[in-house]
Amino acid sequence: MNIAANPREKATPALIDPFGRAITYVRVSVTDRCDFRCVYCMSEEMSFLPKRDLLTLEELDRLCSAFISRGTRKLRITGGEPLVRRDIMKLFRGLSRHLVSGELHELTLTTNGSLLSKYADELADCGIRRINVSLDTLDAAKFRLITRRGDLDVVLRGVEAARKAGLSVKLNAVALKGVNEDEVFDLVEYAHGYGMDMTFIEVMPLGEVERERFDQYWPLTDVRAKLAERFTLEPIAYTTGGPARYMRAAETGGRIGFITPMTHNFCESCNRVRVTCTGTLYMCLGQEDAADLRAPLRASPTDEALHEAIAAAIARKPKGHDFIIDRSTHQPAVGRHMSVTGG
């Protein structure tokens, strides 16, 4: 199967939300499935979507291409774990044509690293230059507890394979109170020792899981203060186009990113939307309002209705989210799991 360019692809009006923000970054989930069951992302016993509900690879290509024609310049493929999707490399190879044309500036993915040893070279061949790898601990036993089934050695070999393939790797760690508090120095030193950025992320109140969000929540203000015990943190203007704010550790020369949806949200400059593997467009990660893009995709072989649905949805993009760690009701701010929206 070859994913060919849509003959209707052409320049169309850029997507500007009601607050004047241009939507240039789209995160697209290709599956809700994952080979891990990370405690902050999903329940241990998950019910996954039937195949018929998921967008096909051809539909995913059409959807991504429609966004690119409306000004998307950064496209991130997510999951679940995107590399567990059958034949996923066909989608990457198809989308790489937009890198060749120059319409798309960056095609990237977020992965747990479990399959990087298998796919790193092929990803590089598709024009992918940077990837994010989720890595919350360097302790094998703790890694198993956090992921419920992952193998740390497999992930570390995957990270090495990605680096050997020429991919720039950024490590992401969710800051987990009482879990990896004692590892922030080790994570930074490991990442910077191999020339990789290290980013810390606050727990977000999405979905029902076995442990309460307030038990896991460790504000990055505290993480930053802890890092400052060992590193001299220097503010820098570096950005990847995403929500992370970066600092440089003077002792290593490496970058440390902070993604703070709770303590210091980044809504005022939000240029992002997310699309689930079923074609549901979420204009804000922290809001329930969404638009169905699967129906217009399947209703017609042309993209007029799809473009209308996208434009109408962006016109409803809110100014910001309502994330809160609710200690009174123990309820998440948003009921869907992180794996449903796209990591």
Cα–Cα distance between 96 and 192 in angstroms, integer? Answer: 29
CA dihedral 112, 116, 117, 119 (to 10 degrees): 150
DSSP 85-138: STTHHHHHHHHHHHHHHTS-SEEEEEE-STTHHHHHHHHHHTT--EEEEE---S
Token output for 204: 């977000």
CA dihedral 161, 258, 223, 230 (to 10 degrees): 70
Q: In what order do the strands lie in the sheet with 197-201?
A: 233-235, 245-249, 255-259, 197-201, 168-174, 130-134, 106-111, 74-78, 25-29, 272-275, 280-282, 290-292
Token output for 92: 């990457």
User: Can you name the residues that pair with 25 across neighbouring β-strands?
Assistant: 74, 272
Query: Which residues, including other chains, have CB under 8 Å from residue 47's CB and lie 6 or more apart?
Result: none
pLDDT for the residue 239:
87
Cα–Cα distance between 262 and 269 in angstroms, integer? Answer: 16
Tokens 């939307």 sit on residue: 273
- Asked if 82 and 30 touch (Cβ cutoff 8 Å), the reply is yes
- Asked if 124 and 118 touch (Cβ cutoff 8 Å), the reply is no
pLDDT for the residue 216:
73
Helices (H), 135-183: 140-147, 152-164
Sketch out the chain's domains with CATH numbers.
Answer: 25-341 (3.20.20.70)
Q: Residue 226: enclosing H or E segment and its boundaries?
A: helix 220-227
User: Between the CA of residue 81 and those of 51, 193, 271, what are the distances in Å?
Assistant: 16, 26, 23
Helices (H) and strands (E) in the chain, counts: 11, 12
Which amino acid does the sequence have at 86? R
pLDDT for the residue 338:
52
Beta strands in 197-299 (DSSP E): 197-201, 233-235, 245-249, 255-259, 272-275, 280-282, 290-292
Q: Let me know if 189 is exposed, middle or buried by CB neighbors in 10 A (0-12, 13-18, 19+).
A: middle
- Asked if 343 and 110 touch (Cβ cutoff 8 Å), the reply is yes
* pTM greater than the 0.85 cutoff: yes
pLDDT 10s per residue in the chain (343 long)?
A: 555 555 444 557 899 999 999 999 999 999 999 999 888 877 777 788 999 999 999 999 999 999 999 999 999 999 999 999 999 999 999 999 999 999 999 999 999 999 999 999 999 999 999 999 999 999 999 999 999 999 999 999 999 999 999 999 999 999 998 899 999 999 999 999 999 999 999 886 554 544 554 577 889 999 999 999 999 999 999 988 778 899 999 999 999 999 986 555 557 778 999 999 999 999 987 677 899 999 999 999 999 999 999 999 999 998 875 545 444 454 444 444 455 555 5
- Asked if 296 and 311 touch (Cβ cutoff 8 Å), the reply is no
